[in-house]
Structure 1
């Protein structure tokens, strides 16, 4: 007797797929059908990025697992939300993916805040302000100005989101980032914040060379970072509350940013901030003890020039926009090279190569964002390795993949090529493929 085929409808992309296996999860079905579906931890219930909203057919899913019940309690989810990795399809369902891109993952931290009163947390607070905005506004039509600001905020916001940060506010030409909203680890919050700040400088360099060249403008920014305890929670009218951060550290971070104009610098941090990092982490410049506007005590500020050591994550993140801006072009270029180098590998790809290319770039983007969350990334890569074993990928294929991917990256960087970027990708690919290849050892143990 044939098993019935169950229909899974993905509402947002208007696509329907079918499964006959009642033990398959929604995530399994997405992966099987080459539908990009975030799952940072590899579908092991360690994160919540694969969550979906059940539009129809909630009764046709497996029961809510204890793990999901705990998340529902902690994060105050409504009953329509399930983890795609936990919910098995037992009948027809209609779903909507909630977290579409890796850039959205950082916002999930806000779910860990108490629903009503909020609480105090230690945060790294970053203020970034555009220089000479008044002059810029007077030189360009309003619509051009809006376009430039949106482009700038995207450029400066990405490094915040890649490093576990939350974009708190846009105030005129200023962007504010928060780090540590879901972590008690001060060192990690400060490392994320400084990597984001240095990533902003990289991104701005690219922006000035490309997008803003046609406007005959060179944009400069000032960045200030402070670390301290602030109130985080939802404030406002009971029917219209908004996430808010209150406290002296917010004001201090803003004043530190302002001091860049006085000291002729572009990245300043407080002593309180830098004390959370291991010694010699950063390359520093000017050190000044200053009076900040509205503050009675003096503050010791330090100019940051960069990392003292090679930072793989920073170089990888800085190259992401260049490499993946044309997702389809990158994937097509890579697979053309791969099949030319190893024609036999072509037989492993049974599906539409356009879909395959989208899966590749979706996966790469997820891994780049996941570098700042290694606790999830390793599990995710192990699961990815297991999937590739099922596809017929052999251990010896990984060396060919690495060689082809590095060659593709080097050529696609174009004028932005730097040996440091290729070195970073070399390191990252070793990390990725090393974790994926461990799945062969796991499978031997289990068998």
Structure 2
């Protein structure tokens, strides 16, 4: 009797075929077990849409939508070809396309919650960031060099917005606008996220100036303004060409706060509404200023944001990523070298190419940092990781080795940038991560 042929999943875009040999595994499970990066912020529990796929061929070979998937599809207004990889099982050959490739694309997913048609009012934190003296810089330098610098600028200051649960609203010349609270969140959290993003931008600009722009003989300086208030959000414009629009005085005020940095030679200014949205001992404040913006009846009080009074774990992790992942392949190789040196028997757990395993490791670490601003997803994500690692044969005895090897590798990769706060932040997070994952070992 001929052997029964197992279904094959074809991942278009990377042209990779995977044999589906476990009927109890979802497509997401299959991606992870075959070390194919596949975002799943909520840990594969049908609570987010980051694992979404488009079925190119073979939709009839998938199980029907679950209740969670039906609700998500109705809310997002998906066509039948879009599925949640964590919710569907395979019965025959299928060709799929992953629709969310990087964490930055989650930006687009959050904007799907903005209603079509009439706008609605939401309480949000608004961040404006602008390059100082850009006109002079553009005049004195080659056009293509400036385009390159702008692209690097948008990338490195866009990441802190995305890492802190924000969305990139728009680019205006040499200015970027970030919104925090588009999809909900408390006033305190949204303002904390915006402040953390601003501080992350500051550190990212410093890194860009010292590491990349030296050869261009350029040094970027920025001004950042943050405000909080209720604004109208929706798709506005001609019926045949509508686009997302944010309307209201809080937006205009945030832009003016950003511009006020020029007058007082500051880097980051926040409004009184932001300052009062968090406990009094949250922000380290420098100077405060009183001004009256055009069109306002009352004066506005602004505060110079210098940092957080207490160590902010998320900020410490975020500002260390560029150094730790300056060479992801090297980082992973050093980590596994330490693990195998301390626990030689652990090598038997890794059946696949170690380079692919390394990519999965750095993808997972970056995902943990990214999920820190989304605590509702982090716990379920760690549960998913714990269960999958237990399935691969990882036991409780392996975790101390992993923890010590990871800290040592992070310390080495940070080099001269290593500080007690950075190591303390990583230790606290990794202890929490390993403790959560250990719950699922047998």
TM-score (norm 2): 0.97
* DSSP-derived class of the 1:384 partner: helix
Written as runs of structure 1 = structure 2, the 5 A alignment for 1:138-287 is 138-287=139-288
Q: Distance in 1 between matches of 2:21 and 2:291?
A: 69
Report runs of 4+ in structure 1 exceeding 6 Å deviation. none
Deviation, 1:3, is 4.2
Q: Distance in 2 between matches of 1:439 and 1:86?
A: 21
Question: Match of 1:413?
Answer: 414
Question: Match of 1:342?
Answer: 343
11-20 or 320-329, which deviates more: 320-329
Q: Distance in 2 between matches of 1:184 and 1:173?
A: 29
Q: Distance in 2 between matches of 1:373 and 1:320?
A: 18
Deviation, 1:184, is 4.5
Matched, 1:133 2:113: no
* DSSP-derived class of the 1:439 partner: coil
Contact 1:160 1:193 in 2 (8 A): yes
Contact 1:255 1:293 in 2 (8 A): no
Deviation, 1:107, is 2.7
Q: Deviations over 1:279-335 (max 9, x none)?
A: 211011111221123433211111111101111100001111221232212111211
Question: Match of 2:355?
Answer: 354
316-325 or 172-181, which deviates more: 316-325
Contact 1:289 1:298 in 2 (8 A): yes
Q: Distance in 2 between matches of 1:32 and 1:156?
A: 33
Structure 2 unaligned spans of 5+: none
Matched, 1:56 2:54: no
Q: Distance in 1 between matches of 2:414 and 2:185?
A: 37
Q: Distance in 2 between matches of 1:6 and 1:278?
A: 56
Deviation, 1:165, is 0.5
Q: Distance in 2 between matches of 1:88 and 1:303?
A: 53
Deviation, 1:260, is 0.7
* DSSP-derived class of the 2:440 partner: helix
* DSSP-derived class of the 1:273 partner: helix
Question: Match of 2:387?
Answer: 386
Question: Match of 1:368?
Answer: 369
Question: Match of 2:403?
Answer: 402
Deviation, 1:402, is 0.9
Question: Match of 1:89?
Answer: 90
207-216 or 411-420, which deviates more: 411-420
Deviation, 1:235, is 1.8
Contact 1:4 1:20 in 2 (8 A): no
Deviation, 1:160, is 0.3
Question: Match of 2:320?
Answer: 319
Matched, 1:117 2:118: yes
Deviation, 1:343, is 1.6
209-218 or 224-233, which deviates more: 209-218
Q: Distance in 2 between matches of 1:16 and 1:381?
A: 27
* DSSP-derived class of the 1:333 partner: helix
Contact 1:125 1:227 in 2 (8 A): yes
Q: Deviations over 1:401-436 (max 9, x none)?
A: 111111111111123222221111111111111111
Contact 1:122 1:184 in 2 (8 A): no
Contact 1:124 1:225 in 2 (8 A): yes
Deviation, 1:340, is 2.0
Question: Match of 1:79?
Answer: 80
Deviation, 1:183, is 0.5
Question: Match of 1:423?
Answer: 424
Deviation, 1:15, is 0.6
Deviation, 1:103, is 2.4
Question: Match of 1:23?
Answer: 24
Equivalences, count: 441
Q: Distance in 2 between matches of 1:145 and 1:139?
A: 10
Q: Distance in 1 between matches of 2:108 and 2:318?
A: 19
Q: Distance in 2 between matches of 1:205 and 1:155?
A: 10
Question: Match of 1:290?
Answer: 291
Deviation, 1:113, is 1.8
* DSSP-derived class of the 1:96 partner: strand
Q: Distance in 2 between matches of 1:240 and 1:327?
A: 42
* DSSP-derived class of the 1:38 partner: coil
Q: Deviations over 1:227-265 (max 9, x none)?
A: 011111112233332211111111000000111111221
Q: Deviations over 1:368-394 (max 9, x none)?
A: 100110110111101101111111111
Q: Distance in 2 between matches of 1:266 and 1:79?
A: 48
Q: Distance in 1 between matches of 2:136 and 2:122?
A: 38
Q: Deviations over 1:319-367 (max 9, x none)?
A: 1122123221211121122212222211111111111011101111111
* DSSP-derived class of the 2:390 partner: helix
Matched, 1:44 2:45: yes
Deviation, 1:42, is 1.4
* DSSP-derived class of the 1:354 partner: helix
TM-score (norm 1): 0.96
